[in-house]
Amino acid sequence: MDNKKRVQKENPANGANPLSTLFLWYTRHIFWESNRRDLTFDDIYDPLEADESERLGNQLERTRITMNQIQQVDLVGRKSYITEWNRELEKRRQLEYALNSEGKKILPKHAKASLSKALVRMFFWQNAWLALIQIVNFLVFVVVQPIFLGWVIDYFKVGQDVSTAARDKALLYVTWMILAKLGNVVMIHHGYRVSWLMGMRARVACCTLIYRKTLRLNKSVLDQTAAGQVVNLMSNDVSRFDQFFMFFNNVWITPIQIILIVYVMWDSIGVLLMVGIAILVVIAVPLQSIVIYTSKILRSKIAVLTDTRVQLMSELVAGIQVVKMYAWEKPFEKIVNKTRLAEMRKITATSHVRSIFLSSMVYTERTTLFATLVLFVLMGHHLTADISFVMATYFNILQLSIIYMMPSGLIAVGEASVSIKRIQEFLLLDEITTSKVEVLKIAERSTKDEIILTEKIKEVLQRDDARANLPVEINFHRVSANWVSGQLPPTLNELSFKVEAGSLCALAGTVGSGKSAILNLLLRELPLGAGIVSLRQKLDEEFSASKQQSGFHMDNANLKISYASQDAWMFSGTVRENILFGQEFDAERYGEVTEACALRRDFEQLPKGDLT
């Protein structure tokens, strides 16, 4: 674990002038460098402050509310910070509910906290800016280009006025057409940039929520949650936001674009334009409906199969020694291949659906244009070059919007809704219920709901620091706790014992007798149902359960508990970094710990010692 912050190059987007921002000229250096040599980590710029993962996570999480709205008190003062997601959870908690026969809450159907609402609140104004860019592009620059093209073609008609004034007007039309195309290119690339940026921010923000949620999961839920599911959420599901923001606005912009094109072309071909659009819609709508519905169903099935496959591979890698020892390679290979084959069948089906969808773009526009032009001639109209070219251009635009952009938006909405639902279900899993810890009162609240620090705090902190290394006495008095609420018999039931300060205590018992439950209770990973748990360093007074209320009690608010996991694990780094686990290197302390753990001999056998 590298706790050092890497110094990276300043992002050139900071301080870029408007012209450089418009044409993305500030990105030229990294393209030049990549053309000369392979890029390294040192070539990557420092992210913008608005794109940092911590900031994005906090943006999705934090919104300011008053204490009157939610009864929450902290050291901030009159106003408290609560997360966007927690705002949804708070609405859910404040709803009225009934109890079923098993004593569980029955909430209304609309009571589920909505991650989509939290995302809408976060990205509403950013999406409004993206929508403005796409409106200018698709409803202005794209629509006016065929008009200028028709005017330019009209200049070259046989027998047309070729005077200097007409030529100047034609050159003006060409200039307008070039400027419209330039505006179209600039806007479409800025639209892509903003949509990808929003997708990245949504992806990073949701990954931050998922990561923070894993740190708060209840131990029983954590045991039931597959590691592959979390990996799939953070690698596959969140990636759907990239496509969502790119195509979402086209769902409602496309109908407006159709109305504008009908208005522009009505004088030229009249009702035949509606016939052409009707042919386009008749071909496109059934195909779109099938593609969207099938893609959503396949996406849901693929996500489940991917979770299963990733979890299976994780367990196989973790137990590879056992697999090798019993020569189980072939049976496990069949299991993995069977799971992967089922996943690949669904992925292949999705690819076939997408290929049918994309291939429809090849023939739809040509079929529609051919049928419309034939009807135009059969009805006795005179077909000219400007009408045919303008009509071809507009049908190409309509084909792109109706056959590709709008369906892609609907598909992206469907896939994103599946991903959001999966992420939301994970975020709604039960968390650790932190039991209230009674400690010495170090602050008093004024009538204005503000925390007033007193001289008592300094005394308490100095006293706690002075006895930080004193031994701790542990008292359990009629303690009951359960991993699953309401399950009988409880994991721990009416447990009482005392561990003297400074003594060594080892727990022994059969499997499932509650040894790990006691340790998790001390760490407050397991919620305390009833009884008293006391951790005391001040031993001049005898422990008395009758004088204390049920719950956790400690006489040192700064008390730390050392914990060694039952499952050994390492991260990618040196031996020393694994031991320090992100803490600062203290040579004296490091030497004492490694000596106590008898690691010196192990260091000598490694090629680079503890720096291996």
Residues 352 and 448 in one domain: no
Residues 401 and 442 in one domain: no
Using an 8 Å Cβ cutoff, are 98 and 119 in contact? no
Residues 479 and 600 in one domain: no
Return d(Cα 181, Cα 188) in angstroms, integer: 10
Strand 437-438 to 551-554 pairing: parallel
Residues 440 and 532 in one domain: yes
250: Cα separation from own chain's centroid? 23
Q: Length of the chain, please?
A: 612
Q: What is the pLDDT of residue 176?
A: 92
Residues 587 and 506 in one domain: no
Return d(Cα 204, Cα 521) in angstroms, integer: 33
pTM of the model: 0.70
Residues 593 and 533 in one domain: no
Half-sphere exposure of 200 (CA within 13 A, CB side): 12
Does residue 508 belong to any structural domain of this protein? Answer: yes
Does residue 4 belong to any structural domain of this protein? Answer: no
Residues 395 and 473 in one domain: no
Domain count, the chain: 3
> Domain span at residue 445?
436-554
Using an 8 Å Cβ cutoff, are 267 and 352 in contact? no
Return d(Cα 444, Cα 239) in angstroms, integer: 48
Cα dist. 384→55, 81, 173, 381, 574 in Å?
59, 67, 19, 9, 76
CA-closest candidate to residue 73, choices 61, 83, 64, 81: 81
Residues 271 and 342 in one domain: yes
Rounded to the nearest 5 percent, the helix, strand and coil shares of the chain are: 60, 10, 30
For CA atoms 105, 436, 115, 208, the dihedral sign is negative
Residues 311 and 407 in one domain: yes
Residue reference for tokens 């290119």: 185
Strand 437-438 to 443-445 pairing: unpaired
Cα dist. 390→145, 276, 317, 363, 404 in Å?
9, 14, 61, 19, 21
CATH of the domain at 492: 3.40.50
Q: What is the pLDDT of residue 372?
A: 84
Query: Which of these three, 402, 428, 454, is where a domain ends?
Result: 428
Residues in the chain predicted with pLDDT less than 70, given as ranges, are 1-7, 62-112, 158-165, 433-468, 485-486, 539-547, 566
Q: What does the pLDDT look like over 551-570, one tens digit per residue?
A: 888 877 777 787 777 677 77
Q: What is the pLDDT of residue 31?
A: 87
